[in-house]
Amino acid sequence: EAQVTQNPRYLITVTGKKLTVTCSQNMNHEYMSWYRQDPGLGLRQIYYSMNVEVTDKGDVPEGYKVSRKEKRNFPLILESPSPNQTSLYFCASSSNTPTGGGNTIYFGEGSWLTVV
Amino acid sequence: GESVGLHLPTLSVQEGDNSIINCAYSNSASDYFIWYKQESGKGPQFIIDIRSNMDKRQGQRVTVLLNKTVKHLSLQIAATQPGDSAVYFCAEILNSNSGYALNFGKGTSLLVTP
């Protein structure tokens, strides 16, 4: 079964305490990305990766880091979280050219992050 | 940049009726479109997709229509059920040699009443 798995699903942390949200996919996809979802703003892309050791900024990268050392994993790192990073985060994976017919974009279940 | 929008932020329908959710897109070069369903507290779930060389595609109880002339995408849900209550997003994808650009609509909330 095609899966994108995120952990943790829920986390409350304090300002400045480094945290990592993991993401793993089992579809051998090249492309992985992170989004945050905020009320009224929809899904906004934070970072993406087209393959191992290739990462690039999305629309809202400030305050985040990522790494892609293995094809299946794409962790999101908050070095010094701040309250404005309180949000719902989604990881997604796909081939580099989604065109339908099963070649599409899959999302994880989401990670609720609260920074106090 | 290009954006994808939805005509109505909320839609309320009675159980058993058909639902139509609309989406306007502005990038005429987009290759591929997806509809997602997002239930409260869950991730976006793929419903149906359509390539730009098609104008209609049907799934189980769902149909997507693509009108490239007016850059409009719609999702039709037949015999809407309470379990269909969710937020629905459209997404447009533009593929290129350097990956793809993905734009999401902000979502339409569908409420199914008994």
pLDDT tens for A91-112 read 999 988 888 877 889 999 999 9
**A–B interface: beta-carbon pairs under 8 A:** 55
Contact A106 B93 (CB under 8 A): no
Tens-digit pLDDT profile for residues A43-80: 899 999 999 999 999 999 999 999 999 999 999 999 99
pLDDT of residue B1: 31
Q: Nearest-CA residue of chain A relative to B88?
A: A42
Per the CB < 8 A criterion, the answer to whether B95 and A99 are in contact is yes
Cβ contacts (< 8 Å) between B4 and chain A: which residues? none
Contact A104, A98 (CB under 8 A): yes
Cβ-based burial of A65 (10 A; exposed 0-12, middle 13-18, buried ≥19) = middle
Tell me, yes or no, if B78 comes closer than 8 A to chain A by beta carbon: no
Look at residue B7 in the predicted model and tell me its pLDDT. Answer: 44
Residue found under tokens 């060389």: B53
Q: How high is the pLDDT of residue A98?
A: 86
Contact present, A78 and A86 (Cβ < 8 Å) = no
SS3 for A84? helix
Burial zone of B67 (CB within 10 Å; 0-12 exposed, 13-18 middle, 19+ buried): exposed
Helix and strand counts by DSSP (H, E) for chain A: 0, 11
Residue B4 has what pLDDT?
53
**Residue A90 and residue B89: Cα distance in Å, rounded?**
14
Kind plus residue range of the DSSP H or E element containing A30 = none
Q: B89, B75, B79, B84: which is closest to B111 by C-alpha?
A: B84
Q: What is the pLDDT along chain B (114 residues), one digit of tens a residue?
A: 334 554 448 899 999 999 999 999 878 899 899 999 999 888 999 999 999 999 999 999 999 999 999 999 999 999 999 999 999 989 999 887 777 888 888 789 999 998
Q: Does A96 touch chain B (CB under 8 A)?
A: yes
Structure tokens given for B114: 């008994």
User: Band of the pLDDT at A40, cuts 50, 70, 90?
Assistant: confident
Residue of chain B whose alpha carbon sits nearest to that of A97: B95
Which of A61 and A38 is assigned the larger pLDDT?
A61
CA proximity to B20, closest of B8, B33, B31, B37 = B8
Q: For an interface test with A, which of B52, B89, B93 has the most A Cβ atoms less than 10 Å from its Cβ?
A: B93
